[in-house]
Amino acid sequence: MAATAVVTALLVLAGGAAPAHAIGTGGVAGAPGYVVVNVPQTIGTEAQVVISYNPYITAPYSVFSTNGAVAYRSAATNDAQTIRAVYYLQKYGSAGWENLFSSPAFDGVVVGDITGAEFPSWAASPTAQSAGSYRFVYAISWFDSLGQLIGFAEYFPNLPGETQCGTQTIRCVPYAGWIDMG
């Protein structure tokens, strides 16, 4: 099981309207709260690794990062809730989108006037570098004060501007919903 990190809850005034977003929603169960994904959701960049000191040679490698999200409480209960976010770096393969990496589980607790939890940015770099189509998917779960699951939803990029490239030597092309890299 992934390590759990406590995330500072975001103080949002009760009754305030959450901003709209265009992120696609995958599997949904129960009564999930509203989620705002910080865009771009999938970012392809590169870093340099030294592969030899004599002569000095470096090689680029792909790094994928994501900007996190804000998740608001579920309407299923007014009691304290724990909201858990896990990010998955996926690559498109012969069976469709396949998980390569998952982040640690990030937990935020919403109670009283705190109505949302802000989740951090995260990055991953595949050990085996290969060309292909990549994206991040967020799996967000809501739990009541007894730890019972009250809602779940997956969020993925699906429009232009929700993906971005920042490479110089590695080919990277952003599309609506994923990036091609390598």
Quick one: three-class SS letters along 40-65? Answer: CCEEEEEEEEEEEECCEEEEEEEEEE
Question: Domain segments of the chain: what residues?
Answer: 16-66+76-132+147-181
Tell me the two tokens of residue 58.
Answer: 């470096």
Sheet strand arrangement including 116-118: 9-10, 116-118, 69-72, 35-37
Which pTM does this prediction carry?
A: 0.80
Nearest to 164 by CA among 143, 141, 135: 135
Q: Residue-wise over 93-118: b if at least 16 C-beta within 10 A, else e? A: eeeebeebbbbebbbbbbeeebbbbb
Give pLDDT, residue 42: 86
Mean pLDDT of 86-90: 93
* pLDDT confidence tier of residue 22, bands split at 50, 70 and 90: very low
Neighbours of 87 (CB within 10 A): 27
Using pLDDT thresholds of 50, 70 and 90, give the confidence band for residue 61: confident
Q: Per-residue pLDDT for 3 more than 50?
A: no
Top-confidence residue, 29 or 51: 29
Confidence of residue 93 (pLDDT cuts 50, 70, 90): very high
- Asked if the model's pLDDT at residue 96 lies above 90, the reply is yes
- C-alpha triplet 148, 149, 152: angle, nearest 5°: 170
Band (pLDDT 50/70/90 cuts) for residue 23 is low
pLDDT score, position 1: 33
Q: In the predicted model, is pLDDT for residue 32 greater than 80?
A: yes
Q: The tokens of 126 are what?
A: 């595949």
DSSP-assigned letters across all residues of 83-113: EEEEEEEEEEETTEEEEEEEPPEEEEEE-TT
pLDDT, position 56: 65
Mean pLDDT across the stretch 158-164?
A: 87
14 against 152, higher pLDDT: 152
Q: Pairing between strand 163-166 and 42-53?
A: parallel
For residue 51, name the pLDDT band (cuts at 50, 70, 90).
low
Question: What pLDDT does residue 20 have?
Answer: 36
